[in-house]
Amino acid sequence: MDAIARASVSSSARLRPCPRLLRIGNNIAAARRRLRRRSVTCAAAADDIAADVVGLFDAAKLTVDRFVESGMVVGLGSGPASGLAIQYLGTRLRRGSLTGILGIPSSTISASEAEKAGIQVSSYEEGTQIDFAFTDADVIEEDTLTSVIGRRKTESGEPSFMEEKGIVKSAGKLAFIISHEKYVKGVEGSIPVLVKSNKPFQANWIDTAEEIDDLFLGDAEVWRRPSVGTAGPLGGDFPLVTKEGHHVLDVIFTTPITDLGKVAESLEKIAGVVDHGIVSNIPSYVVVKLDEEVQVLDEKSSVIP
């Protein structure tokens, strides 16, 4: 598994290539000095990437070792940390230290990773009994461990929180695997919200969007998510519509959110809102590397020995 982590580091590092030496007139010495300074910056960035990946790998490994037991039905989350956990779970199955695991993937990517890892999988259906589930979170609120999922799109363009949220709700135990910068006091950024399709006698999605905008007036903007590229508040020429015909709104907060749980409660009272990307009031653990040590936190944010 160390090889997996090193490969991930190497792949990430290639995303930020260092510049080559360029001859500018005859001033080669000056160009070399600039190159050395930029190389130091690139090396520091690569070290940060390496530390992040190793921290995620350590957290993913501990999650599997701590919570997964033979014979379990395990919800397989989506994201880089979940991918590492799936690979490590496959390693333990091949070694024989775990047996009889059935995985329930939350996306086609996690299903593909599970297949490569040699994990038997089954599709999720409402009512499926899941012993334990792990997944990534976009951000987690300290103290409450309320999380946000679904900011990223899946490879099919569908919002990632729909099936993922169903899986975490069905799990007997749940753990979020995150990097330290996602564990914060004041959550910022967007909350994905799923709103009903425009069927007869139902409110238009724009009416729902305007009600959400009024609710968070001055604190957030409401944009319709596009299926490709970037777009304005209406979703551009190719707005995202789910297979059920629903629309996805991104409620983009311009000020830190003081209480994610209250935001969730407010959204659920609005007519036309089907679901949202906030996971609250579900007992869960957070596995995160803090102060050079992987820690398992409960809903009271105390370290679990």
Distance of alpha carbon 304 from its chain centroid, rounded? 23
Which of 123, 227, 194, 124 lies closest to 166, judged by CA?
Answer: 124
Q: What is the structure's pLDDT at 244?
A: 80
Q: What is the structure's pLDDT at 235?
A: 85
CATH code of residue 220:
3.30.70.260
Q: What is the structure's pLDDT at 191?
A: 95
Identify whether 161 is part of a domain.
Answer: no
Alpha-carbon span 267 to 247, nearest angstrom: 15
Identify whether 201 is part of a domain.
Answer: yes
Q: What is the structure's pLDDT at 304?
A: 55
**Domain range spanning residue 263?**
187-278
Q: What is the structure's pLDDT at 214?
A: 95
- What are the E-state strand segments in the chain? 73-76, 102-105, 120-121, 130-135, 139-141, 147-148, 171-178, 183-184, 187-195, 220-224, 247-257, 273-276, 278-279, 285-290, 293-297
Q: What is the structure's pLDDT at 243?
A: 79
Alpha-carbon span 146 to 155, nearest angstrom: 26
Identify whether 257 is part of a domain.
Answer: yes
Read off the tokens for 163.
């099936």
Cβ atoms 195, 205 nearer than 8 A: yes
Identify whether 255 is part of a domain.
Answer: yes
Identify whether 240 is part of a domain.
Answer: yes
Cβ atoms 169, 52 nearer than 8 A: no
Identify whether 1 is part of a domain.
Answer: no
Identify whether 141 is part of a domain.
Answer: no
Which whole-number Å values give the CA distances from 86 to 77, 151, 208, 224, in the listed order? 9, 21, 38, 32
Identify whether 167 is part of a domain.
Answer: no
Tens of pLDDT, residue by residue, the chain (305 residues):
555 554 444 444 444 444 443 343 445 555 455 555 555 444 443 444 455 788 899 999 999 999 999 999 999 999 999 999 999 999 999 999 999 999 999 988 999 999 999 999 999 988 889 999 999 999 999 989 999 999 876 555 555 577 889 999 999 999 999 999 999 998 999 999 999 876 654 558 889 999 999 999 989 999 998 888 776 788 888 888 887 888 899 999 999 998 999 999 999 999 999 999 999 988 899 999 988 899 999 865 555 55
Cβ atoms 111, 164 nearer than 8 A: no
Q: What is the structure's pLDDT at 159?
A: 58
One-letter identity of residue 110: S
Tokens 């609005």 found at = 270
Q: What is the structure's pLDDT at 155?
A: 54
Total tally of structural domains belonging to the chain: 1
